[in-house]
Amino acid sequence: MSENNIDDNNSTCQMCGEKHKHRDDSEKKYLLNRLNRIEGQVRGIKSMVENDAYCTDVLVQTAAVIGALNSFSRELLSEHIRTCVSNDIRAGKDDTVDELIALLHKLMK
Q: What is the pLDDT of residue 73?
A: 96
Measured CA to CA, the distance from residue 51 to residue 99 in angstroms comes to: 44
Measured CA to CA, the distance from residue 12 to residue 72 in angstroms comes to: 24
Q: What is the pLDDT of residue 33?
A: 98
Q: Does residue 46 register a pLDDT over 50? A: yes
- Beta partners for residue 86, in sequence order: none
State the amino acid at position 102 in one-letter form.
Answer: A
State how far Cα 35 lies from the chain centre: 9
Measured CA to CA, the distance from residue 85 to residue 83 in angstroms comes to: 6
DSSP string for residues in 54-101: -HHHHHHHHHHHHHHHHHHHHHHHHHHIIIIIHHHHHTT-THHHHHHH
Tell me which of 11-20, 86-95, 100-109 is least confident: 11-20
Q: Round the average pLDDT of the chain to a whole number and report it.
A: 88
Q: Please state whether beta strands 12-13 and 6-7 pair in parallel, antiparallel, or not at all (unpaired).
A: antiparallel
Q: Does residue 11 register a pLDDT over 70? A: no
The pTM (predicted TM-score) of the whole model is 0.79
Higher pLDDT, 3 or 68: 68
Are the CB atoms for 61 and 37 separated by under 8 Å?
Answer: no
Give me the count of residues in the chain: 109
Q: Mean per-residue pLDDT for 52-61? A: 98
